[in-house]
Amino acid sequence: MTRRLFIFIFFIYPLISFGQNELGGIGQWREHFNNLAVIQLGNVNSASSEYKILGASNQQVFFLSEKNKIKLAGKSTGLHDVSISCTAWDEEVGQLIVAYNNSNIDIIKGDQVYSITDLLLSNLYSNKKINHIYLLHQWALLSTDFGIVVLDLLKHEIKDTWFPNNNRQVTKTYQVVCTSTNLYASTENGIWISPLKNNWITNSQWQNNIDYNNAAIYKLTQLNNIVFGASENMIYQLPSASPYYKIDNGQIKNIKLIKEGLYTSVSNGISGKLIKINADKSANTIIDSTALSNPVDFLLDQSNIWVADSNNGLLLKNTTTQRIPLGGPGGNIHGQIFVNPENLIAPFGENSIGFSMYNQNGWKTITSINGKNLPFCYSSAIDPIEGSAWFASSQGLLRYHFDNGNIDIASPVAYKGFYRDVQFGKDGTLWTLLDQQGILQLQNNSWKLITPPNTISLIGVKKMIVNEQGQAWMIAPQHQGIIVYNPAAAGEKWSILNTYNNNLPSSTVTGIVEDKNGTMWVGTNNGIGLFDCNEINNCKAFLPQIKNNNGFAGLLFQKETVNCISIDGANRKWVGTNNGSWLLSSDGSEIIQRFTKNNSPLPNDTINQIIIEPNTGEVFFNTQNQMVSYRSTATAAASTMKNIQIFPNPVAPNYNGPIAMRGLTENALVKITTLSGKLIFQTRAFGGQAIWEGKTYEGNKVATGIYLIFARDDAGNEKAVGKIVITNGQ
């Protein structure tokens, strides 16, 4: 199986700082992975490429130029999987082999990606992980948990399986290297050696070096027919049974014998170092623990030393020591994300301190300010008036100022404790949850604590949504439904909505959101319920139905856990579940799209949060395994129409995707005509964006030329005109 690599490494696309691809067209994806777990490095010896260093994190492949420009490749650009195990660069053919932890394999050659799924689909072996790739001319020797798989790099197919023993028994193989005459394999049963003839072996000729059967050697390296092996703390020069060098503190992560000498990286899991072992068996520390944590791979490139640190990313040492950012947030996101047209704010939650933010300059992670560590941040919001970012944290409300990068504790001294959620109402009022105490408001520079009656407890309440009516809807703890605070003019009211009294599909509530019609959509572990009532206490949830392809109507997401719901500019519903994400029509009766890890770049099917950037319609999916985004067809509607923003414009000859026109008012009527005024297409805006495929009503591509776009609202009060150049017609 092959497919195009949509934005590939050797193309002439502009490189974006921080390794982040620019926002693409409608239907395009991009990854937002933290890439701190760098696992492998290598050289790209290709005169035709500006990229000289390649590497891999757990999720993506990256390439670096001599000027440290970065290009990323992942599922959004044509790869078939995530969770990378190891990679290798085939210098002779000019292709990259990528192996995944599930034993899937991709080979990237030019703008093609060849998928080799034989191991993935095979049931012959229970453990099939690929531990290492060694290139032997036209063969890639894959060290796996059952033996050595021989991959033909010319035909892109599996050629043979070698078992490093003489009885063809399954043997976990860690790594292989070859001298001019022999192949060496480090296995769970020691070191095995087989003669090479025409770059091939005969299975019955394996020999076991019994001196190493108890040495637990799992790393090998060779240069000029000299072979070294390493266990956790010993280095051996084969075939000598005596240790060549001993590591007294830490575990050996890697060894490499190169023309500069023998190097090893060491770590105790927290601090690490890179060591050069001299010919007299003395050692010099090249990079110490002040810069390294868990150095799993390294590369010497002229005067540069590159280190892959699986805890802290990519490090470069030459005249100075610096970290090379590979894009993405600085950790997995477990807090509540907030986005507006300028910034995306992503707190890490209870697993890591601080937060990351994303804007046109790329990703930036902040864990300390002025030398002081930030606390755990759970939720985020941006003040619509002042423009500062606010965080609910374990040490109060934090306020981050974008202009100077300072942060301060904004919560009053009188109210101490854990702040669990924060958001702003449409009038600029700040709402936050103060654990075990109540709802805290900031309005007109005055703080007010709102406490519930004795019959209602807010202990353990972590999530809240304030709707257009100024009501606070909270997910009750311990599967008790919803708590609603209503600051009605006739007097404050507190209510509990549950299965028994209010027709919720389940009292285990997972998410709440208000749509553009003022209807409250409630996600549970048994589908979705809708509330659209003036009187909360007597309100009954409406359980929407949906039709499947066979015309059968069933309750919306019945028996499905709905983790989150988000509303786009056209009032459509994006629903995140444990089985992927769904886009529904505005009333929930129709499935428009469904994304899973099998049909999209989603890295995982468990969707924890969906947020939508209103101006571009980019939908961010925070999954159980990091975050990706997708540019959808709907944007927020404009209040007035001044300029129609068209993308792409002009339309290139090879472009076959949709053409987006945004900056429109809600449901605006859009007409596309020739310069002479002939109408060729008419459509309506999704929220504030209309989509045109560059075709006539009959489905034919329009001819090359200039086309006019006329947009107006139904009342005729708002009008706008645009122009688009088409160069891909007939």
**Cis (ω within 30 of 0) for the bond into 341?**
no
Classify 482 as helix, strand or coil. strand
Question: pLDDT band at residue 488, thresholds of 50, 70 and 90?
Answer: confident
Classify 17 as helix, strand or coil. helix
Question: pLDDT band at residue 537, thresholds of 50, 70 and 90?
Answer: confident
Tell whether 680 is covered by a domain.
yes
Task: Kindly report the average pLDDT of the chain as a whole number.
Answer: 91
What pLDDT sits at residue 13? 27
Q: Tell me the per-residue pLDDT of 197-231, one tens digit each, with 9 for 90 and over.
A: 989 998 889 999 998 999 999 999 999 999 999 99
Listed as own residue / partner, the contacts of 476-481 with beta carbons closer than 8 Å and 24 or more positions apart are 476/507, 476/509, 479/507, 479/508, 480/507, 481/507, 481/509
Query: Average pLDDT of 596-605?
Result: 95
**How many CB atoms are located within 10 Å of the residue 248 CB?**
6
**Cis (ω within 30 of 0) for the bond into 650?**
yes
Q: Tell me the per-residue pLDDT of 657-694, one tens digit each, with 9 for 90 and over.
A: 899 999 999 999 999 999 999 999 999 999 999 999 99
Cα separation of 417 and 130, whole Å? 48
Question: Which of 697, 694, 616, 708 is CA-nearest to residue 654?
Answer: 694
- Domain-ending residue, one of 447, 472, 506: 447
- Contact assessment for residue 571 and residue 586, using Cβ atoms and an 8 Å cutoff: yes
What pLDDT sits at residue 490? 67
What pLDDT sits at residue 12? 24
Question: Which of 279, 277, 305, 278 is CA-nearest to residue 292?
Answer: 305
Question: Which of 410, 468, 408, 483 is CA-nearest to residue 440?
Answer: 410
What pLDDT sits at residue 162? 96
- Contact assessment for residue 14 and residue 22, using Cβ atoms and an 8 Å cutoff: yes
Strand 545-547 to strand 553-555: parallel, antiparallel, or no bridges (unpaired)?
antiparallel
- Domain-ending residue, one of 389, 416, 447: 447
Domains identified in the chain, total number: 2
Cα separation of 729 and 722, whole Å? 19
Query: Residue 62 above 90 pLDDT?
Result: yes
Query: Residue 542 above 60 pLDDT?
Result: yes
Query: Residue 583 above 50 pLDDT?
Result: yes
CB burial class (10 A; 0-12, 13-18, 19+) of residue 360? Answer: exposed
Q: Mention every residue, 6+ apart, whose C-beta is less than 8 A from residue 462.
A: 378, 420, 421, 433, 475, 477
Query: Residue 69 above 90 pLDDT?
Result: no
pTM of structure: 0.90
Q: Tell me the per-residue pLDDT of 309-360, one tens digit each, with 9 for 90 and over.
A: 999 999 999 999 999 989 899 989 999 999 999 999 999 998 899 999 999 8
Tell whether 297 is covered by a domain.
no
- Contact assessment for residue 431 and residue 464, using Cβ atoms and an 8 Å cutoff: yes
* CA distances, 70 to each of 10, 14, 21, 33, 95 (Å): 12, 10, 10, 14, 18
* CA distances, 201 to each of 132, 163, 173, 371 (Å): 19, 11, 16, 59
Q: Mention every residue, 6+ apart, whose C-beta is less than 8 A from residue 717.
A: none
Cα separation of 729 and 694, whole Å? 8
Question: What's the token pair of residue 209?
Answer: 């070096």
* CA distances, 300 to each of 133, 263, 303, 316 (Å): 19, 10, 7, 10
Q: Tell me the per-residue pLDDT of 588-600, one tens digit each, with 9 for 90 and over.
A: 999 999 999 999 9
Q: Tell me the per-residue pLDDT of 133-191, one tens digit each, with 9 for 90 and over.
A: 999 999 999 999 999 999 999 999 999 999 999 999 999 999 999 999 999 999 999 99
Cα separation of 257 and 278, whole Å? 11
What pLDDT sits at residue 9? 33
**Domain containing residue 369: CATH number:** 2.130.10.10
Tell whether 42 is covered by a domain.
no
Tell whether 198 is covered by a domain.
no
Question: Which of 389, 392, 484, 471 is CA-nearest to residue 425?
Answer: 471
Tell whether 568 is covered by a domain.
no
Question: Between 9 and 90, whose confidence is greater?
Answer: 90
Question: What's the token pair of residue 304?
Answer: 């540069």
Q: Tell me the per-residue pLDDT of 31-58, one tens digit each, with 9 for 90 and over.
A: 999 999 999 999 887 666 788 899 999 9
Residue 342: which domain range? 329-447
Burial 327-350 (b: 16+ CB within 10 A, else e): bbbbbbbbbbbbbeeebbbbbbbe
- Domain-ending residue, one of 385, 414, 447: 447
* CA distances, 700 to each of 648, 680, 693, 704 (Å): 19, 10, 10, 12
**Domain containing residue 678: CATH number:** 2.60.40.4070
Local structure of residue 701 (DSSP, 8 states): B
Tell whether 294 is covered by a domain.
no
Classify 91 as helix, strand or coil. coil
What pLDDT sits at residue 730? 52
Cα separation of 53 and 315, whole Å? 13
Strand partners, 452: none
What pLDDT sits at residue 6? 39
Tell whether 434 is covered by a domain.
yes
Tell whether 304 is covered by a domain.
no
